[in-house]
Amino acid sequence: MENPRCFANRFVDYKGALLVGQGVEKAVPTVKDLIDKIIRNVPLGSTECDGGLYDGPAGVAYMLYHVSESALFSEHKDSYLKIAKQIIDVSVVYVDGEKDKNMRAAFLLGGAGIYAVAAMVYKALGLADFVKPLTKFRNLWEVCSPINFLECGSDELFVGRAGYLCGALVLKQKLGIEILSMDQIQEICRAIIESGKQYARRKRKPFPLMYSYYGTEYLGAAHGLSSVLQMLLCYQEVLSDGERDLVWQSVDFLMNQEQNCNWPAELGAVIERENELVHWCHGAPGVAYLFAKAYLINKKPQYLDTCIRSGELVWRKGLLKKGPGICHGVAGSAYVFLLLYRLTGNSKYIYRAQRQVETYGTQSICPRSCGAADTAGFAEFLFTEEFKAGSCSVSSVYSLFEGLSGTVCFLVDFLQPDQSEFPLFSVFV
């Protein structure tokens, strides 16, 4: 029976040689064309700024910033940054007017992410004004410190505290300055830990830390336990010994929830093999970053092995039918190969990423075709009506997490794999 979520991978696996013909000379102009098309299709002055970094215009601004950082695109650096500024300025005005202060504190879906990208773009342009959005970001600390600041769940990545910590981490990496004081970071980490302890106790969970979002006990990167723990590991130096123990126990607890190289979307669910989610948002391609971080900290082989098994699953089931994005699309699963390349240095993962890129250029990725391979260039293909119809919504076609801006980030990283990192979610800092 045909898998409803992914195309069968009929590629031969790595035999010691990379594919030829995917060189930088050929790829850079293609990526540039893709960017031009995105810019043409995203109304620059639009006041429709909903969706933040996830699927709003701010995510497109981040993509342009990311490309402008790459030496391969240095020729276009200034023009990309100027367009990024135009986009993000409108988003900043929009979010300044947001009445709900909790939405202002949201990283992937709201204000914190917009202010963070504004600070990065301004700094890259050499504008001293970068301090303004940075100060707005910093001030959100107070909003998300109270344990139950959000009724839906205060700790996850999109709107909760893990997201805020993630934003602070990205900012520190890109701006090269401290964003929050040690006390502030400590207070947020303590709130996350206390909230997880209380939830686990109240719901009589047999493990130390657990969370829910709108009543669901997610495990994956999007709203779940894995990205919350990942952020706590990123700041583990501010934790007490006892808190650190709780975090590591929880990491091992999550490791034990693996079902044949994957994790169910929610705690206790049983994965049905023919219908499983292999997405960054839900499943191994997102959970892998937690174990990568764990491995980078303490070098225990079982964490690396867990990442490698995730990669094996993605090789079998990562040619997703849901579109080009990084959340639940082809680029998101392919990022796991770049992660594994950085962790192991093994060229096999570059080859596998190459194969994933190759599928952009074949009809076989098209939901309406029956698998006949064709050779349309991937950029042309991505703009066909069939492909648009196959992704979640037309409005998010150009976005960072569900659309082509995420694809661009992936392709740029694919061309410089030694510096690659999942957008806004690095484990190497």
- Site residues, Zn ion (CB under 5 A): 281, 327-328
Q: Between residues 90 and 278, which has the closer beta carbon with respect to Zn ion?
A: 278
**Shortest distance (Å) from residue 279 CB to Zn ion:** 5
Q: Between residues 123 and 328, which has the closer beta carbon with respect to Zn ion?
A: 328
**Shortest distance (Å) from residue 392 CB to Zn ion:** 8
The conformational region for residue 20 under phi > 0 = left, psi -120 to 50 = alpha, else beta, is beta
**Binding site listing for Zn(2+):** 281, 327-328
Both structure tokens of 138: 């910093």
Q: Between residues 292 and 327, which has the closer beta carbon with respect to Zn ion?
A: 327
Q: Between residues 169 and 281, which has the closer beta carbon with respect to Zn ion?
A: 281
Q: Between residues 221 and 233, which has the closer beta carbon with respect to Zn ion?
A: 221
CA distance 372 to 352: 20
**Shortest distance (Å) from residue 284 CB to Zn ion:** 13
**Shortest distance (Å) from residue 286 CB to Zn ion:** 9
Residue nearest to Zn ion (CB): 281
Backbone angles phi, psi at 24, to 5 degrees: -60, -40
Q: Between residues 73 and 335, which has the closer beta carbon with respect to Zn ion?
A: 335
Q: Between residues 127 and 394, which has the closer beta carbon with respect to Zn ion?
A: 394
Q: Between residues 278 and 357, which has the closer beta carbon with respect to Zn ion?
A: 278
**Shortest distance (Å) from residue 78 CB to Zn ion:** 33
**Shortest distance (Å) from residue 328 CB to Zn ion:** 3
**Shortest distance (Å) from residue 415 CB to Zn ion:** 25
**Shortest distance (Å) from residue 332 CB to Zn ion:** 7
**Binding site listing:** 281, 327-328
